[in-house]
Amino acid sequence: MFIVSVESQFWASHRLAFPDGSKEPAHPHNWLVTAEVGSDKLNSAGLVIDFRRLKAMLEVIVAQLGDTSLENNDYFQQNGSSAEMIAKYIYEKLEPKLPDNIKLNYIRVVEQPGCSAKFVK
């Protein structure tokens, strides 16, 4: 299998709610998102997918999250705005945009250096 990945960043704040009902103060992050895709076959140009095309698809999604409080998004109001849920949200938005022969392997979201979450289906 051939595998490629692209990265994008966005700035947004979030506020985690914990099982005991407590909430942390709202705080911002410069989120780093990695999308990894793979295919058994290359296209006629010898590519899984053009990096620019994949990155553009990812950036359309993260642009909707950038410069916001994630809790203002209905999805995160219902599911929480953890790095894990951000990764799942981006995965679910990106996967249907990919050509049929390309598999989205994972979305990885880095909240801060050394702290990341990955969603894999």
Q: Residue 40 maps to which CATH number? A: 3.30.479.10
Nearest to 70 by CA among 112, 31, 18, 113: 31
Domain encompassing residue 112? 2-119
Sequence-distant (≥ 6) Cβ neighbours of residue 50 within 8 angstroms: none
What is the structure's pLDDT at 40? 98
| Mean pLDDT across 48-58 | 98
> What is the number of structural domains in the chain?
1
Residue-wise pLDDT for 71-100, tens only, equals: 999 999 999 999 999 999 999 999 999 999
Nearest to 9 by CA among 111, 94, 104: 111
pTM: 0.95
